[in-house]
Amino acid sequence: MERVGLIPNPTKDKAIQIAKEVITWLKDHNIDYLVKNESAELVGALTKTASCREMIDKVDLVIVFGGDGTFLNTARDFFDVEMPILGVNLGNLGFLTDIQLEELETALEKLLLGDFEIEERMMIEAEVIRDGEIIKNFVAINDIVITKGAFSRLIKLETYIDGEYLTTYPADGVIIACPTGSTAYSLSAGGPIVNPNLKSLILTPICPHTLHARSIVTSAAEDIEIVVVSEHEDVVLTVDGQEGFELASADRIMVRGSELVTELIKLENYHFYKVLRTRLRRKDF
């Protein structure tokens, strides 16, 4: 570990303070670092500033200080390169940023010794097809969501899996998540929790106006196609809750597993089910 990228959430004072402490630790251990430009001035590192794209090929790994949203934003910046990411949890849940503050010094020591593993998480990709042409492509780490706008009526979403018609959901929308995203919006909508090491897609309707709608788990090798059936134009596709795109009636959205992966740094004591137990605060989970 010769150089580390540091990416603190610039809107969180705690993230800036912890980043400063990590910089001191790195200096004491003769390890170089770069700080994401939006936060460099806040941590006093104007001579060590870089964008995420500039960090590619310049750092060995990156450390993110914030919540899962900060982690997702960072991972999306590195979506097309192999960049190990360690998340330090300063948010509410922390399914992606699983290092707690009290574990941080131990985590840094393990990084220095190379005592960690890289866990590859599958991603999903989507394309929007309008009038027979692909007009937009997306890559997501958690989910692709198709939903009605804030004041619009119920929408209908024709749903196909590998070309086979499944059903038409009269609903507020649908969520297509990968296993990593199964503990995000999909879980809140009643979807299942899926081990992130599996290769699958989770299709979950949002507030379906029907008695029989259930989440469906498919193979990552299968394509999910959603056709928008709506008389109004207030329908939106969102990517990881961070990027939006307006859809039109008759748009077709194709979602499939991606060949790209997100690389998460996992320390020796990491267990997915332990994270579930502690984050969801269920003693009997």
Active site residues: 68
Within 10 angstroms of residue 219's Cβ, the number of other Cβ atoms is 12
CA distance 198 to 179: 7
Cα dihedral 99→105→107→113 (10° resolution): 170
Closest CA to 124 of 226, 236, 220: 220
Give SS3 for 33: strand
How far is Cα 107 from Cα 247, in angstroms, rounded to an integer?
44
- Identify the DSSP state of 84: -
What residue ranges in 90-208 does DSSP mark as E strands? 117-130, 133-140, 143-148, 155-161, 164-171, 173-177, 200-206
**Alpha-carbon distance 165 to 175, whole Å?**
17
Which structure tokens are listed for 149?
């706008």
Cα distances from 132 to residues 14, 110, 135, 146, 253, in angstroms, run 49, 52, 9, 19, 11
Q: At what angle do helices 13-28 and 104-113 cross, to 10 degrees?
A: 40
Q: Which residues of 79-88 are buried (b: 16+ CB within 10 A; e: fewer)?
A: beeebbbbbb
Give the integer Cα–Cα distance in Å for 247 and 94: 31
* Residue 18 falls in which region: left (phi positive, over 0), alpha (psi -120 to 50) or beta: alpha
